[in-house]
Amino acid sequence: MIKPRTPPGVMELLPRDQIAFQRMLDTIRRTFEGFGFLPVETPVFELSDVLLTKSGGETERQVYFVQSTGALEKESERLPELALRFDLTVPLARYVAEHERELAFPFRRYQMQRVYRGERAQRGRFREFYQCDIDVIGKDALSPRHDAEIPAVIHAVFKALGIGDFTIQMNHRKLLRGFFEGLGIEGVRQDLVLRELDKLDKRGADAVRDTLLGEDFGLAPEAADRLLAFSRVRSRDHDDALAKLAELGPGTPSFEQGRDELCAALERLRAMGVPESDYAINLSIARGLDYYTGMVYETVLDAHPQIGSICSGGRYDDLAGHYTKSKLPGVGISIGLTRLFWQLREAGLVDTADSSVDVLVALLDDAGLDHALALSQRLRAAGLNVETQLEPRKLAKQLQYADRAGIRFVVIRGEDEATRGAVAVKDLRRGEQFEAAEDELGRTLLVEREQLRAQG
């Protein structure tokens, strides 16, 4: 006998939690499609040489390699041929480069699949987790106007998920780098300073300031203070954002371009009807990756800042330089849904869902079986999810089962009701019972379902 268990670092859900998770996935997908993004799915594994174009680095050390039994037996010294994807960006780059001539640009794709990282096992860290990504990829060029579309999608997603107030925080890499230039910080030192900025939340301003003044960086105290003051800029509302950007004063060409694009994105976002309470500038946001070159986004739940960013991304100059000579600039974001779901549950913000089953058609005796089957089919044709009790049991047991399973309606056809062509309906959610004509039953229950949904 083998103990049934999952590997560490995966999130496996009981059905009613799975339903709650699935609803979040569906909501995200619907919203992505609403904004005209097209679905892509890629294989879980890529050829190792395709996946691991960069040598070394943290990511590569976390990669899972895949070998068939035959390959294992050969005990080859070479790297295994296949590896599990560790994000959806590298597969996207490979996909766009591979299918370049068959795609229309700007290419708008969404992808919602699991990715794999050999993380150290730790509470809240996952080795398998969903990412829900959107990207808009241009060929040769991509209008900066897409930079405003992305936060509008983020806004629609989190509104639809209904997990509380949130703020989409924005910054611009060119604004940051231009500001560094103005302080005399150039070249590779910019990258180092960017990385320090990224640590502000974790290490605190004092520690970061010490590092900046230390011998690796050698910033003058005044420059360090200006840098930290810059990084503290946050906006309260739309006009405040524009005013604070204006107050920064003149800067290098890169600085001015960044500011112009950031302002334009704010204006477009307002034109799309995104409430100004839901977005802000936050000039401390750097996003660690070298990859980003323009707008960067992070999203936080206002009541749960400790969760950190629940949706991040930005603008990049070249998606697929390893695979194609074409220049493919893009902008995108990613939601790590497994971690988010786990955190929302920990914070009590998502509940176990009701069952996806709307109706249990009860069975009182064997003679009623064929009728129960036929009635179930009619309710399904009306659009309801129906389970049929196939063996007669005490009614109390059937009600108890439905209650525990989170099934709202139990349909019972007693002798009295049958003579009238009617059934009794127990509404376990409202704690009510009513009678309904069989012919009307499907419609009646659908209306009840929609009413409750509309009430939220």
Q: Is there a cis peptide before residue 221, judged by omega within 30 degrees of 0?
A: no
- Residues 261-320 interacting with a second copy (rule: CB under 8 A): 267-268, 271-273, 320
Size of the site for a second copy (CB under 8 A): 101
Determine the straight-line distance between the first and last CA of the chain, rounded to whole angstroms: 46
| DSSP bridge partners of 292 | 316
Pick 220 or 381: Cβ nearer a second copy: 381
Binding flags for a second copy, 354-383, as an x/- string (CB under 8 A): -xxx--x--------xx--xx-xx--x---
Report how far Cα 445 is from the mean position of its chain's Cα atoms.
Answer: 33
Select from 186, 246, 351, 385 the one that contacts a second copy (CB under 8 A). 385
Least distance in angstroms from the C-beta of 12 to a second copy: 6
Decide whether 64 or 217 has the Cβ nearer to a second copy.
64
- Count Cβ atoms within 10 A of the Cβ of residue 125 and give its class: 0-12 exposed, 13-18 middle, 19 or more buried: middle
Residues 288 and 16: their CA atoms lie apart, in Å, by: 37
∠ Cα 327 328 333 (to 5°): 155
Are the C-beta atoms of residues 168 and 157 closer than 8 Å to each other? no
Q: Quote the least distance from Cβ 297 to a second copy, whole Å.
A: 18
Q: CB of residue 84 vs a second copy: minimum separation in angstroms? A: 7
Q: Which amino acid is at 94?
A: R
Closest distance to a second copy from the beta carbon of 408 (Å) = 13
**For residues 272 and 452, which CB has a smaller minimum distance to a second copy in the complex?**
272
- Residue span 25-54 as binding mask against a second copy, x where in contact by CB under 8 A, dash where not: --------xxxx-xxxxxxxxxx-xx--x-
Mark residues 105-134: x for contact with a second copy by CB under 8 A, - for none. ---xx----x-x-x---------x------
Q: How far is the CB of 261 from a second copy (least distance, A)?
A: 14
Instruction: Name the minimum Å distance from CB 222 to a second copy.
Output: 41
Q: Would you give the DSSP letter of residue 311?
A: E
> Cβ of residue 90: shortest distance to a second copy, in angstroms?
10
Tokens of 223: 């420059």
Among 1, 367, 396, 454, binds a second copy (CB under 8 A): 1
**Residue 433 Cβ vs a second copy, minimum distance, rounded to whole Å:** 21
Q: Where in 60-79 is the site for a second copy (CB under 8 A)? A: 60-70, 72
Sorted by sequence, the CB contacts under 8 Å of residue 76 that are 6+ apart come out as none
Q: Is 249 exposed, middle or buried (0-12, 13-18, 19+ CB in 10 A)?
A: exposed
Report the alpha-carbon distance of residue 185 to residue 174 in Å, rounded. 13
Tell me the pairing of strands 359-361 and 386-388.
Answer: parallel
**Of residues 177-216, which lie at the interface with a second copy (CB under 8 A)?**
none
Task: Estimate to the nearest angstrom the gap between the alpha carbon of 359 and the chain centroid.
Answer: 31
Are 276 and 301 contacting, i.e. CB atoms less than 8 angstroms apart? Answer: no
* Dihedral sign (CA 170, 174, 179, 183): positive
The rounded distance, in Å, linking the Cα atoms of 443 and 71 is 58
DSSP-derived 3-state class of residue 427: strand
Which tokens belong to 437? 């004509």
Is 183 or 369 the residue whose CB approaches a second copy more closely? Answer: 369
Residues 256, 198: Cα–Cα separation, whole Å: 22
* Nearest CB to a second copy, comparing residues 95 and 179: 95
Residue 428 contacts residue 403 (beta carbons within 8 Å): yes
Please, which residues bridge with residue 18 across strands?
none
When the beta carbons of 385 and 433 are compared against a second copy, the nearer one is 385
Nearest approach in angstroms of CB 316 to a second copy is: 17
Sign, CA dihedral 93-98-104-110, equals negative
Q: Is 250 in the site for a second copy (CB under 8 A)?
A: no
Residues 405-424 that bind a second copy (CB under 8 A): 405
Does 80 bind a second copy (CB under 8 A)? Our answer is: yes
Closest separation in Å from C-beta 8 to a second copy: 9
Residue among 140, 206, 391, 415 that touches a second copy (CB under 8 A): 391
Residue of 13, 364, 399, 446 that binds a second copy (CB under 8 A): 13
Binding mask 427-446 toward a second copy (x if CB under 8 A, else -) reads --------------------
Footprint on residues 81-110 left by a second copy (CB under 8 A): 81-82, 84, 93-95, 97-99, 102-104, 108-109
Closest distance to a second copy from the beta carbon of 348 (Å): 20
Q: According to the binding rule CB under 8 A, does residue 403 interact with a second copy?
A: no
CB of 139 to a second copy, least distance (A): 13
CA atoms within a 13 Å half-sphere pointing along the CA-CB vector of 196: 25
Site for a second copy in 322-351 (CB under 8 A): 322-325
